[in-house]
Amino acid sequence: MDSSLITDVIGASEDKKVFGKIRLQKIFYLLDQLGLDSGFTYSYHHYGPYSEDLSNTLFFAEFFDKVIVESQGKTKLGNIYSVFSLSENANEMSPEVGKLSSDDIKTLVNTLEAPTSVVIELAATIHWLREKEGVAEWEAELKARKTGKATDENIKKSVDLLGSIGL
């Protein structure tokens, strides 16, 4: 897979960084549902929709193409997370990717960076349950799969996030 798509998405963020592997996976999943057409395939894993293709492309972008830099940060509780940023070798953003313009991607990426990683994980999972698995009682299924994360407040924020991006 072409690493330019990853640089386009990371470069679309306001500070040219994406915080967290889970967040990056969910951003790509949701962008693909909106017409990004990345070519990545997704399956359901513990944290919701996941693409091994994306993971592999990210690896190649970092270690072979040298256009992505992965560093680490720590939460207040000491948990380690990845920070993905562009290297000096990265190209400028493409004007259009799939059905999305560069402006659409910038707006969507910045919208998807705002909520907590739990909210974006739940939003992607809600979409997956409703659209990919066809689960009519998706909220009950979400609470069963995401015990502790799927609080009423987090579900509301996730549904609102999906609505704000048109899903």
**Per-residue pLDDT tens for 41-97?**
999 999 999 999 999 999 988 887 788 889 998 988 898 999 999 988 787 777 767
- What was the pLDDT predicted at 91? 78
- What was the pLDDT predicted at 3? 76
Q: Are 23 and 50 in contact (CB under 8 A)?
A: no
What pLDDT, in 10s, does the model give residues 133-158? 999 999 999 999 999 999 999 999 99
- What was the pLDDT predicted at 117? 93
Say how many domains are in the chain: 1
- To the nearest whole number, what is the mean pLDDT of the chain? 92
Q: Are 132 and 39 in contact (CB under 8 A)?
A: no
- What was the pLDDT predicted at 99? 85
Residue 1 has pLDDT above 70, yes or no: no
- What was the pLDDT predicted at 125? 98
Tokens 């640089």 sit at which residue? 7
Q: Determine the structural domain holding residue 44 and report its residue range.
A: 4-164
Q: What DSSP designation does 129 have?
A: I
CA dist list (Å): 119 to 39, 41, 67, 87, 156: 25, 22, 28, 28, 9
